[in-house]
Amino acid sequence: MRLDYRVTVEDAGRRAGRLTAEKFHLSQHDLAYLKQTNGLLADGNPIRQIDRVSAGMLLSICLPDPVPSNAVPVTFSLVYEDEVMRVIDKPAGIATMASMRAGGDSIESEYTSLYGDFRPVNRLDKGTGGLMVCATTGYYQHLLSEQLHSDCFIREYLAVVEGRMSSETGCISLSIGHVPGSNNLRRIDPDGKPSCTFYRVLDSGNDRTLLRLRLMTGRTHQIRVHLSAIGHPICGDHLYGSPLPEFTDSFALHSAYLFIRHPKTHEILFFKSRPDQRFLQLLDQSLF
């Protein structure tokens, strides 16, 4: 994998190693690899990391492509892949990040066994399934993360909630903060962080409603807290609503649609993910 950067007048005189680490978000491991392999180039020729750069110089780094390994069984599916990013479809009921509580059962451990470093751009709760974006390098992770919560990176969810909504569309704009004494739980808090969720009713049945939701901000548990606050918790949400036997390790929330501008080609890409059969059974209708 090769990445290039044209040195600007402002960058002139800086050391090549520091500049490339900053521009491409390289780790110490990456820098060590470049040193060992002469993978840092200036106008196509090897350069030392301590050397000074000049304006107009083309700096290039050559990093290895990940070597696939099947050490860990994989539960997610690969939706899209190129040199910049991978879009994966995460199943509900598995944690995104590895932790002592989750053990080895996580998207992070599975992804790492296949592709190396795990660089998620957006994350999903353990109980939420659907689309996630992972960058291939720290540099691309930085570019993609800058697009979050803008028209260049739009995430939309499907959710089945309890009860019938009083309006077909709406915006939930309620600030969210921590529950005192808890690292995990959130609550509506006037002194919390501003949060905004748009919703649109798609269908209803069995005293439940199917919603399509768009996040304008990205607070922890935002959709779950907002819907619970207006009296329509997500079906099966054990933290902010009531558990259901058919959702023992998840709830009826799915990251179903993703619109993203490719940070390198600037092409608008669209992806979608189908929720599982439990969504249909909750409303007792065939909606998908």
CATH 1.10.10.1200 fits 2-62, yes or no: no
User: Residue 261's pLDDT is what?
Assistant: 95
Q: Has residue 34 got a pLDDT over 90? A: no
Q: Has residue 288 got a pLDDT over 60? A: no
User: Residue 102's pLDDT is what?
Assistant: 47
Q: Has residue 66 got a pLDDT over 80? A: no
User: Residue 104's pLDDT is what?
Assistant: 56
> Of the listed 11, 30, 89, 125, which one is catalytic?
125
Does 125 participate in catalysis according to the annotation? yes
* d(C-alpha 18, C-alpha 35), whole Å: 13
User: Residue 69's pLDDT is what?
Assistant: 52
The answer to whether the pTM exceeds 0.85 is no
Task: Answer for the pair 212, 156: CB distance below 8 angstroms, yes or no.
Answer: yes
What integer is the mean pLDDT of 213-224? Answer: 93
Q: Has residue 236 got a pLDDT over 60? A: yes
What's the CATH number of domain 77-283, 3.50.50.60, 3.30.2350.10, 3.40.50.2300, 3.40.50.1360? Answer: 3.30.2350.10
* d(C-alpha 155, C-alpha 124), whole Å: 11
Q: Determine what percent of the chain is predicted with pLDDT higher than 70.
A: 93
Q: Has residue 72 got a pLDDT over 70? A: no
User: Residue 70's pLDDT is what?
Assistant: 54
Confidence of residue 286 (pLDDT cuts 50, 70, 90): very low
What integer is the mean pLDDT of 198-204? Answer: 94
User: Residue 154's pLDDT is what?
Assistant: 94
251 CB-near residues (< 8 Å, 6+ apart)? 92, 127, 128, 224, 234, 235, 236, 237, 238, 241, 244
Q: Determine what percent of the chain is predicted with pLDDT higher than 90.
A: 59
What integer is the mean pLDDT of 153-159? Answer: 95
What integer is the mean pLDDT of 238-244? Answer: 92
Averaged confidence pLDDT in the chain: 89
User: Residue 223's pLDDT is what?
Assistant: 97
What integer is the mean pLDDT of 87-112? Answer: 83
SS3 225: helix
Instruction: For residue range 41-52, list pLDDT tens digits in order.
Output: 989 889 999 999
* d(C-alpha 41, C-alpha 25), whole Å: 17
Q: Has residue 253 got a pLDDT over 80? A: yes
Q: Where are the domains of the chain?
A: 2-62, 77-283
Q: Has residue 285 got a pLDDT over 70? A: no
User: Residue 241's pLDDT is what?
Assistant: 93
Instruction: For residue range 106-125, list pLDDT tens digits in order.
Output: 999 999 988 888 999 999 99
Q: Has residue 218 got a pLDDT over 80? A: yes
Task: Answer for the pair 137, 4: CB distance below 8 angstroms, yes or no.
Answer: no
CA-based torsion, 221, 227, 228, 232: positive or negative: negative
SS3 242: coil
Q: Has residue 100 got a pLDDT over 70? A: no
* d(C-alpha 35, C-alpha 16), whole Å: 12
Task: Answer for the pair 169, 201: CB distance below 8 angstroms, yes or no.
Answer: yes
- Residue 253 host element (H or E): strand 253-261
